[in-house]
Amino acid sequence: MSSAGFDFKQFRVAHDRCAMKVGTDGVLLGAWADVAGARRVLDIGCGSGLIALMVAQRTAARIVGVEIDAAAAAQAAENAAASPWAGRIDIVHADLTDFAPAERFDHVVTNPPFFDEDLLPPDAARARARHTSGLTFARLLREASRLLAPGGRLHTVLPASAYDHFAYYAWEQRLYPYRRTDVVTRRGKPVRRVLLSFEQGREGPVRHDELVLCERGGERTADYRRLTDTFYR
């Protein structure tokens, strides 16, 4: 990956004008989210368009990406237009609160802003993209619930430390977890990220498993390769 972009098997993501670059979190979510049979998918805070493009590769859905940053939205639109799925992806430059589509969505995907345990990054755009000062979990989930069709599903990736906080606000919106994958870099290491799926209006058991990314020698595990094989070169 370069600072200008990243080449996947079927598409390229330019991200030099985006605060958040292509990274493991987004790739994992785009490959993992349970979007089989999706008809309409919303990518909240779509950034470069990475997850929207991955969902487009995996489904026949119509996909809308919403992005508040003008430069990122423009680059996401360019990435979508250059992809094999240009006719199915629309990028909207808007504040999420102002976004009022004519039809709601059966799936929402989002790699949301979160408070990383490290120091705030110095770049203002990156800070806004990464931290909850601009889009809190409560507001994100309230808007996601508004935009989901009845029985719709929300898929996200979070720091493990943020799960309880996020799940509480999801519960307030009647979004209940049904699938969770704990992500660890190597076996025996602490869980740093969780991949999560929520369903609107139906509470039940949660399928819970673990994804290990790397073997001791640094190579990708078989599970990681299997998950991302159709994307990574």
Give, for 32, the enclosing helix (H) or strand (E).
helix 24-32
3-state secondary structure of 151: strand
Distance from C-alpha of 156 to C-alpha of 209, rounded to nearest angstrom: 15
φ, ψ for residue 122 (rounded to 5)? -75, -30
Report all structural domains of the chain as residue ranges with CATH numbers, in order of start. 5-220 (3.40.50.150)
Taking the CA atoms of 75, 113, 45 and 192 in sequence, report the sign of the dihedral they define: positive
The pairing of strands 207-212 and 175-184 is parallel
Q: What is the mean pLDDT of residues 205-226?
A: 96
Distance from C-alpha of 154 to C-alpha of 164, rounded to nearest angstrom: 16
- Confidence check: pLDDT of 41 > 90: yes
Q: State residue 20's pLDDT score.
A: 84
3-state secondary structure of 36: coil
Q: What is the mean pLDDT of residues 122-134?
A: 46
Q: What is the mean pLDDT of residues 55-82?
A: 97
- The pTM of this model reads 0.91
Q: State residue 135's pLDDT score.
A: 78
Q: What is the mean pLDDT of residues 22-45?
A: 97
Q: What is the pLDDT of residues 140-194, one digit of tens each?
A: 999 999 999 999 999 999 999 999 999 999 999 999 999 999 999 999 999 999 9
